[in-house]
Amino acid sequence: MRAPRALRSGSLLAGGLIVAGLLAVALAAPWLAPHAPTAIFSGAEIRPPDGRFLLGTDEVGRDVLSRVLYGARVSLGVAIPSVALAALVGTALGVGLGYLGGVPDMLAMRAFDVLFAFPPILLAIALVAALGPSAVNLVLTIAVLTLPQFAVLTRSATLALMPQEFVQAARALGASHGRLLRAHVLPNIAAPLTVQASLSLSIVILVEAALSFLGLGTQPPAPSWGGMLSRGRQYMTIAPWLVLAPGLGIMLAVLGFNLLGDAQRDLLDPRRRGARGRGA
Amino acid sequence: MVTFLLIHLIPGDLVTILLGITASQNEQTRQALIHALHLDRPLAVQYGLWLGDVLSGNLGHSLVTGLSVGDELARSYPVTLQLALMAMAIALAAGIPMGVLAATRAGRALDGATRVFSLLFISAPAFFIGTVVIIAGARYAPWLPTLGHVPFAEHPARSVTTMLPAATSLGLAISAIVARFTRTSMLEVLGQDYVRTARAKGVADRAVVFKHALRNALIPVVAMAGTQFVYLIGGAVIIEEVFALPGVGRLVVNAIYARDYTTIQGAVLVLTSATVLVNLALDLLYHVIDRRIVYA
């Protein structure tokens, strides 16, 4: 049986399809959703799935399917900007530190070490609780917590590049700092960056869901998956669809970005290329 | 130090929260309370006072309930510790055999099944798994207790069974990571020359896998499990909320909502020290697994 090989080469396809589908749902939610996500159908509270409400209704009579579809928009609406911000600032910081080295580099690395000792979810809870749970604060908080991963990654990648001959040659030929970074360093660290971006997106989706679950993330009535799951828990024994629908939404989104990140990593790592049944 | 500063960065007027809106209008009460809590001193002095107290084992009193933070932590810490240890035990007990099986049958159906399993559980948030466990428990095994907590000291066996659903929910996600990691590590070791030599001289397959390969393959797995501990504590915060366990996680979350600085400080201090201690313990554990590693 060659199942894993098919699975592995399929993981790029599967991850890509899931992510593309997710993006499509997020963008086209108003056309795909049968009802408005906040529309209340009084007299239709906690209906099991049927022909009119394909995934049933929640405790105040809102269509669960529509809310789950709009949930993709809420989830990605937080995840994409925060990872983009973290990648931008983190890369600038990491490349700068790796390029300059010395005391600032050492200090920053110590600071990251300290930061990594705290459970990230605790930091996130503390920050959001302090700043107040708004969409902007949520994005900022998650970006700040994701940033060190990008900084550490790009720093070590830059450090590894600096002594290489083509970089040294460019420098000897009189290339400016800006040109060295733009033309020689950045293009060479772009590949691991895209992998990190995919994996970070999957983590960030989980963090947003967890914060919303605790009531600190996206605020109601906006249909966030974490928030829906949290409120659905009160009715979970009589109306499991209230919990299962948003939960599967989170799982699918995280799975998509995970698969995509893994597949990218396999493609980029020459040791894993070809030997797909063996590496992980 | 970092714990202290970080928490004081959290804005929000504590005094107003403590006294309530009406009482905070009364300037005299206000000043008295500010003084009693040392909030009128410079931050550096506050830090000095706090550090002195911590070193003498006094974590102060909760700013909201007035209870001793040390006592609160002593009550909730064993719950979180038990949860984390049980979850880690489940993760390792399920993850390592899965990884070994997958590695020895690389490229076959079982390997694929393990991969699908790990992907699913890496992607599922612990609070979702937990909720599904509760629903399934209520539907198919209503006699099984899923919520609440029995202190370990009172009734060890009941305590463990009551916490089993919560620990499983938390452990499954980590077992998926452990399984993947064990598989990679095993594959690498199984490809080494000395494994081939062992096979060539006719050592039984089982002995090669368990004696020669697994022992070496476990080192990175143990290292990885250590890094997962930070996430385990983070996950415990949410799982305690889901399963209504009175652990440190719940204490912190409630304290953050209430801006109860002393409680947050104490709890974060305890959680962070636990993480550091676990990492230290793991470093020492490497030596037990691999005698070649010696600490100078």
Which tens digits make up the pLDDT trace of B245-256? 888 888 887 887
pLDDT in tens, B205-241: 777 777 778 877 887 787 777 777 777 877 887 888 8
The confidence score (pLDDT) of residue B14 equals: 46
Q: How far is B191 from chain A (nearest CA, A)?
A: 10
The confidence score (pLDDT) of residue B140 equals: 77
B36 confidence band (pLDDT: 50, 70, 90):
low
Q: What is the mean pLDDT of residues B56-76?
A: 70
B10 confidence band (pLDDT: 50, 70, 90):
very low
Rounded Cα distance, A194 and A215, in Å = 31
At residue A279, the 3 state secondary structure works out as: coil
Q: What is the mean pLDDT of residues B258-267?
A: 73
The confidence score (pLDDT) of residue B183 equals: 86
Check pLDDT > 70 for residue B44. Answer: no
Which of B116, B124, B131 is the closest to A233 by Cβ?
Answer: B131
Check pLDDT > 60 for residue B71. Answer: yes
Rounded Cα distance, B91 and B98, in Å = 10
The confidence score (pLDDT) of residue A85 equals: 94
> Closest Cα partner for A64 from A51, A73, A54?
A54
Which of A125, A206, A209 is the closest to B256 by Cβ?
Answer: A125
Nearest Cα residue in chain B from A199: B123
Q: How far is A57 from chain B (nearest CA, A)?
A: 18
**B14 or B135: whose pLDDT is higher?**
B135
Q: How far is B242 from chain A (nearest CA, A)?
A: 9
Check pLDDT > 50 for residue A277. Answer: no
Contact at CB, B119 and A229, closer than 8 angstroms: no
C-alpha B246: how far from chain center: 14
Q: What is the pTM of this model?
A: 0.78
Q: What is the mean pLDDT of residues A10-22?
A: 84
pLDDT in tens, A54-105: 777 777 778 888 888 888 888 898 999 999 999 999 999 988 888 887 888 8
Contact at CB, A3 and B271, closer than 8 angstroms: no
Helical segments of B124-244, H only: 126-140, 156-190, 193-200, 205-207, 215-242
Beta carbons of B95 and B89 less than 8 angstroms apart: no
Q: What is the mean pLDDT of residues A28-51?
A: 77
The confidence score (pLDDT) of residue A6 equals: 45
**B269 or A274: whose pLDDT is higher?**
B269
pLDDT in tens, B155-176: 777 777 778 888 888 888 888 8
Least confident interval from A40-49, A188-197, A231-240, B70-79: A40-49
- ipTM of predicted assembly, 2 dp: 0.74
Within 8 A of A280 by CB-CB distance, chain B residues are 180-181, 183-184, 187
Contact at CB, B10 and A126, closer than 8 angstroms: yes
Q: How far is B24 from chain A (nearest CA, A)?
A: 21
| Percent share of chain B, pLDDT over 90 | 0
The confidence score (pLDDT) of residue A59 equals: 75
Structure letter (DSSP) for residue B152? T
Strand partners, B61: B68
Within 8 A of B121 by CB-CB distance, chain A residues are none
Contact at CB, B111 and A121, closer than 8 angstroms: no
According to the per-residue pLDDT averaged within each range, which of A118-122, B56-60, B94-98 is highest? B94-98
Q: Which residue has the tokens 């490349």?
A: A95
Beta carbons of A57 and A51 less than 8 angstroms apart: no
Which of B104, B119, B172, B240 is the best residue to mutate to test the A interface, defined by the most A CB atoms within 10 Å of its own CB?
A: B119
Structure letter (DSSP) for residue A57? B
The confidence score (pLDDT) of residue B28 equals: 57
Q: Which residue has the tokens 């996500």?
A: A37
B148 confidence band (pLDDT: 50, 70, 90):
low
Check pLDDT > 80 for residue A4. Answer: no
Cis-peptide, bond into residue A221, ω within 30° of zero = yes
Residues 6+ positions from A189 with CB-CB distance below 8 Å: A91, A95, A154, A157, A158, A161
Contact at CB, B128 and A247, closer than 8 angstroms: yes
The confidence score (pLDDT) of residue A268 equals: 73
A271 touches chain B (CB under 8 A): no
> Closest Cα partner for B30 from B49, B46, B13?
B13
pLDDT in tens, A198-214: 889 988 998 888 888 88
Structure letter (DSSP) for residue B209? I
Rounded Cα distance, B9 and B120, in Å = 38
The confidence score (pLDDT) of residue B54 equals: 58
Amino acid at A171: R
Residues 6+ positions from A99 with CB-CB distance below 8 Å: A158, A162, A177, A181, A185
Which of B128, B228, B253 is the best residue to mutate to test the A interface, defined by the most A CB atoms within 10 Å of its own CB?
A: B128
Check pLDDT > 80 for residue A237. Answer: no
Check pLDDT > 80 for residue B20. Answer: no
Q: If you write DSSP's letter for every residue of A127-191 in order, what string do you get?
A: HHHHH-S-HHHHHHHHHHHHHHHHHHHHHHHHHHHTTSHHHHHHHHTT--HHHIIIIIIHHHHHH
A149 confidence band (pLDDT: 50, 70, 90):
confident
Q: Which residue has the tokens 């970006």?
A: A143
Q: How far is B289 from chain A (nearest CA, A)?
A: 24
